[in-house]
Amino acid sequence: LTYKKPTKLKNGIYLTATFGYMFLLSVFRFGIGFDYDSYAIILELQKSRLDAGANFFDLSGEGQEAGYVLLENIFAKLNIGYITLFGILAAFMLLSAAVFIYRFSKNVWISTFIYVTLTFFYSTLNYMRQSLALAIAFWAFGFLYKKKDSLKSWILNFIPYAAIIALAATMHKA
């Protein structure tokens, strides 16, 4: 599909099929992944804290960055279960990678192959906060990629880039 005479349409179909399959694997896994149980337990603890009267904007989580705690609080207030949480996060992480590959790769199938074989997909199942931060950072890349013919255009591209990276750092410092 993308090996001989690739087009934007063929690339889109290929990415939809391959990343759609990865999404199904991510959602229908049970107990697979290094952090699977801990994220499920943390979400339930967050629900209990909020039900007991904890402040929604108290972003001090155990070993977690403030942005991820806020995300947990939102999911906890919406009474979303941990499987749905994994589905939403997987959709965001995989969609971010697929859009990144679609926009910036000259060879979509090689980029997808690299995404899987160099353990980026594996990381979405095991190190969710790190992968969430990377997914956010993917959206910043376009600002670095734009042509910068003046100091003003460089600054106007750098500011949203830095803001997106700062947002990513609220999910995981590394």
pLDDT along the chain (174 residues), means of 10: 85 96 91 83 89 86 82 92 92 97 94 94 90 94 82 87 95 82
Closest by CA to 22, choosing from 94, 85, 118, 87, is: 94
pLDDT at site 114: 96
pLDDT at 62: 64
Task: State how far the alpha carbon of 36 is from the alpha carbons of 44, 80, 125, 132, 144, in Å.
Answer: 13, 16, 8, 14, 34
Backbone dihedral angles phi then psi of residue 61, each to the nearest 5 degrees: -110, 160
Closest CA to 27 of 158, 124, 146: 124
Question: What would the two tokens of residue 117 be?
Answer: 């074989």
- As given in the structure block, the two tokens for residue 140 are 């910043």
DSSP state of 119: T
Q: How far apart are CA 59 and CA 65, in angstroms?
A: 8
Residue 78 confidence (pLDDT): 94
d(Cα 54, Cα 105) in Å, to the nearest integer?
Answer: 45
What pTM value is reported for the model?
0.89
Q: Which two tokens stand for residue 153?
A: 């255009």
Amino acid 63: pLDDT: 65
